[in-house]
């Protein structure tokens, strides 16, 4: 409202200014001309004063806060230039001699504030998609009470563990783990794709998705205020973390300030020599306006905000903004296997040779392991004591005072567990077939064996082909057996290493980083957390553990591996945009400074050029919001 009202008064200023400069066309005698000119200048002062009060006071307040901290920034320079122009105009009007610059003072303030408004509008545009996501939540959710009856409640009243029913055509009120029913969902608000996704028991369905043809019953894994939608909004509204390019822009702004002071002094001296104080004032004001760092301030932050907003629409949540900068230099991509490259098919099943009770103990320990495979077992009927999770290996506890372990067969071998012949035979057979095994040991003897068939994610082949097309090395590092890993990597035509502990994964990544090969790793489990943190860029799968998501720089919300090359393409494109914006800003300032100091650029034109420069970098950055980030390499 301030800007609109000021623009109205500024239009009045410009109207009277045109009348004043067109006075030669009026047939006025010598006695009437000064009177008319005086009346016009009174109108100019009257119309320009509200502009100074509405727009100048906020800038003056910012300059005063800077001054109290011992700083003089662009707000201070703008205040000096605009107030100087207006006060000099009042003096000349009262004296009845000399030029007036009411129009310059008013239009400069309007254009400066308009330029700053550009950044706010651009940020709001980046957040608008997130606000639209919130409208996708239904008005109510069908929750099952303790008495078994279904009741309608607001989505925000749901809690973790609640049982919820979603009818065909309804929106999903929270992140749900499907317990019963089959259907298709539309999750384009997270994936960016309009293709329906098949949904069946054990699938994780994000809040805001639209159910298709079948009734679904699910358990609340995360409410609308803490799930994927909440994480997106929190990140997009949070202040940007400084990247190297942002820090470079800050340094350039500091240099620009010093250069501006020097050039403003030169402009005043040259203008005074050529035309006295009016010319000196115009040149100095032009220099100050040219240096107004709107374009420099917009050039990088806006590009990063726009890129992050565009990636969210494609199902990629960037938690750590500097990761976008580091991703442009990635040369090696490492993939975890279980839960990342492959996905479990069905439930963990018991292999013949163990008792039903021992298998229940196995599933109880697996459920508490915080490993992605915990989703393949039912809620435990037994509660182990003294739980201790060993990342990348297994979990141990006690049942009725008996020490027990559940985890990889190699981990149990390291603890000298004894294998009955029938379970040892089953182990060898399933490892040769590439299946995932979880063994249960109690009091030093293996008593049960769980088998899970793993299949490649549908997006794996296309994702790896896209990564290799970018001349990136792709490697699988897994804690699973070498035989299981080899069965997958031979199919994909890439290298892989199995039987690795979390520490061994970490040492391989650190070696790559030391050798000058920036690395990106994709993982989903607790055991992947150290590696996600150590790599140049860590990407966590959306269905992975909270530990993986917390340590990852990026999260793939829909578990589609094709998002990895899309993310890298966006990072490289962002680097080009940032470099282009910086180059444009520096070139603009160099040329405009030269014109301003030599008197070839008046203040109104300088303010217009400043706005045009801001528009150029804004439009270049906002193109991320209108084009898929993965379209450019």
* 162-198 confidence digits (pLDDT tens): 999 998 878 888 889 899 988 888 776 555 555 677 8
pLDDT digits (tens, 9 = 90+) for 341-360: 887 655 677 876 778 888 88
User: Is 268's pLDDT higher than 90?
Assistant: no
Per-residue pLDDT averaged across 572-588, rounded? 87
pTM of the entire predicted model: 0.68
| CA–CA separation, 130 and 1 (whole Å) | 25
- Is residue 454 within 8 Å of residue 431, measured between CB atoms? no
- In sequence order, which residues have a C-beta less than 8 Å from that of residue 525 and are 6 or more positions away? 336, 338, 339, 370, 371, 372, 391, 392, 544, 545, 547, 548
Show the tokens assigned to 503: 């520490």
The count of other CB atoms within 10 Å of the CB of residue 318 is 25
- Is residue 516 within 8 Å of residue 330, measured between CB atoms? no
Backbone angles phi, psi at 358, to 5 degrees: -65, -35
Given this model, what pLDDT does residue 633 score? Answer: 40
User: Is 444's pLDDT higher than 60?
Assistant: yes
| CA–CA separation, 154 and 135 (whole Å) | 13
Per-residue pLDDT averaged across 497-509, rounded? 87
| CA–CA separation, 24 and 36 (whole Å) | 12
User: Is 564's pLDDT higher than 90?
Assistant: yes
- Strands 436-442 and 402-407, how do they pair? antiparallel
336 is known as an active-site residue: yes
| CA–CA separation, 46 and 93 (whole Å) | 12
Backbone angles phi, psi at 195, to 5 degrees: -75, 130
Per-residue pLDDT averaged across 38-52, rounded? 89
Residue 154 burial by Cβ neighbours in a 10 Å radius (0-12, 13-18, 19+): middle
pLDDT band at 602 (very low <50, low <70, confident <90, very high): confident
Q: What is the DSSP string of 381-421?
A: SS--EEEEEETTTEEEEEETTEEEEEE-HHHHHHTT-B--H
pLDDT band at 124 (very low <50, low <70, confident <90, very high): low
DSSP 171: B
Lowest-pLDDT range, 67-76, 148-157, 161-170, 546-555?
67-76
| CA–CA separation, 321 and 309 (whole Å) | 11
Residue 434, classed as helix, strand or coil, is coil
Given this model, what pLDDT does residue 562 score? Answer: 93
Q: 496 versus 253: which is more confidently predicted? A: 496
- Is residue 78 within 8 Å of residue 105, measured between CB atoms? no
- In sequence order, which residues have a C-beta less than 8 Å from that of residue 208 and are 6 or more positions away? 133, 136, 137, 171, 172, 187, 189, 190, 229
| CA–CA separation, 372 and 549 (whole Å) | 12
Spatial CA neighbour of 621 closest among 301, 329, 318, 312 = 301
Show the tokens assigned to 479: 């804690």
Given this model, what pLDDT does residue 631 score? Answer: 45
Show the tokens assigned to 418: 């004894």
* Residue of 162, 336, 524, 560 with catalytic role: 336
Query: Could you give all domains of the chain from N- to C-terminal order, each with its CATH number?
Result: 2-130+238-304+573-631 (no CATH), 141-223 (2.70.150.10), 316-341+457-559 (3.40.50.1000), 344-455 (3.40.1110.10)
Per-residue pLDDT averaged across 143-161, rounded? 90
389: alpha, beta or left, given left = phi > 0 and alpha = psi -120 to 50? beta
């Amino acid at each position: 409202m301030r800007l609109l009202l000021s623009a109205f008064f500024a239009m009045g200023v410009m109207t009277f200014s045109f009348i004043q400069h067109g006075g030669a066309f009026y047939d006025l005698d010598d006695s009437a001309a000064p009177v008319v000119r005086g009346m016009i200048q009174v109108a100019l002062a009257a119309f320009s004063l509200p502009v100074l009060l509405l727009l100048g006071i906020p800038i003056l307040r910012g300059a005063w806060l800077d001054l109290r901290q011992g700083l003089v920034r662009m707000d201070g320079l703008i205040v000096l230039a605009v107030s100087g122009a207006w006060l000099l105009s009042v003096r000349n009007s009262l004296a009845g001699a000399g030029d007036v610059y009411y129009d310059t003072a008013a239009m400069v303030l309007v254009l400066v504030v308009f330029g700053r408004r550009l950044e706010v509008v651009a940020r709001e545009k980046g957040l608008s998609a997130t606000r639209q996501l919130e409208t996708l939540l239904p008005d109510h959710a069908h929750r099952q009470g303790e008495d078994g009856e279904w009741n309608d409640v607001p989505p925000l009243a749901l809690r973790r563990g609640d049982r919820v029913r979603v009818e065909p055509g309804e929106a999903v009120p929270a992140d749900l783990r499907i317990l019963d029913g089959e259907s298709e969902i539309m999750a384009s608000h997270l994936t960016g794709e309009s293709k329906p996704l098949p949904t069946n028991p054990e699938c994780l369905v994000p809040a805001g998705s639209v159910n298709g043809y079948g009734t679904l019953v699910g358990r609340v894994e995360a409410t609308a205020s803490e799930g994927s939608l909440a994480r997106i909004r929190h990140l997009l509204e949070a202040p940007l973390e400084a990247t190297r390019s942002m820090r470079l822009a800050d340094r350039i702004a500091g240099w620009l300030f010093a250069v501006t002071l020097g050039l403003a002094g030169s402009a005043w001296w040259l203008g005074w020599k050529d035309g006295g104080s009016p010319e000196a004032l115009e040149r100095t004001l032009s220099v100050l306006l040219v240096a107004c760092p709107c374009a420099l301030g917009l050039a990088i932050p806006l590009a990063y905000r726009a890129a992050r907003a565009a990636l969210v629409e494609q199902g990629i949540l960037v938690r750590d903004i500097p990761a976008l900068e580091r991703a442009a230099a990635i040369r090696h991509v490492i993939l975890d296997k279980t839960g990342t490259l492959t996905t479990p098919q069905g439930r963990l099943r018991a292999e013949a040779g163990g008792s039903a009770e021992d298998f229940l103990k196995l599933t109880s320990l697996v459920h508490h392991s915080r490993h992605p495979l915990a989703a393949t077992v039912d809620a435990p009927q037994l509660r182990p004591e003294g739980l201790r999770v060993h990342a990348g290996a297994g979990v141990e506890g006690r049942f009725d005072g008996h020490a027990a372990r559940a985890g990889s067969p190699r981990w149990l071998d390291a603890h000298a567990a004894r294998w009955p012949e029938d379970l040892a035979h089953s182990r060898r057979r399933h490892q040769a077939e590439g299946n995932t095994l979880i063994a249960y040991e109690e009091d030093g003897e293996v008593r049960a064996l769980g088998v899970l068939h793993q299949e490649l994610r549908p997006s794996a082949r296309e994702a790896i082909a896209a990564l290799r097309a970018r001349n990136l090395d792709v490697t699988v590092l897994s804690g699973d057996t070498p035989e299981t890993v080899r069965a997958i990597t031979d199919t994909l035509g890439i290298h892989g290493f199995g039987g690795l502990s979390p520490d061994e994964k970490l040492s391989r990544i650190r070696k790559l980083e030391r050798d000058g090969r920036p690395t990106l790793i994709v993982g989903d489990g607790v055991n992947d957390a150290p590696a996600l943190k150590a790599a140049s860029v860590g990407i966590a799968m959306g269905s992975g553990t909270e530990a993986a998501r917390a340590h990852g720089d990026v999260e793939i919300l829909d578990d589609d591996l094709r998002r990895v090359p899309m993310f890298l393409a966006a990072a490289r494109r962002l680097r080009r945009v940032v470099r282009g914006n910086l180059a444009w800003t520096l070139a603009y300032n160099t040329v405009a400074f030269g014109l301003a100091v030599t008197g070839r650029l008046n203040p109104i034109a300088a303010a217009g050029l400043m706005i045009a420069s801001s528009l150029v970098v804004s439009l270049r950055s906002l193109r991320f919001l209108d084009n898929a980030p993965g379209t450019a390499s």
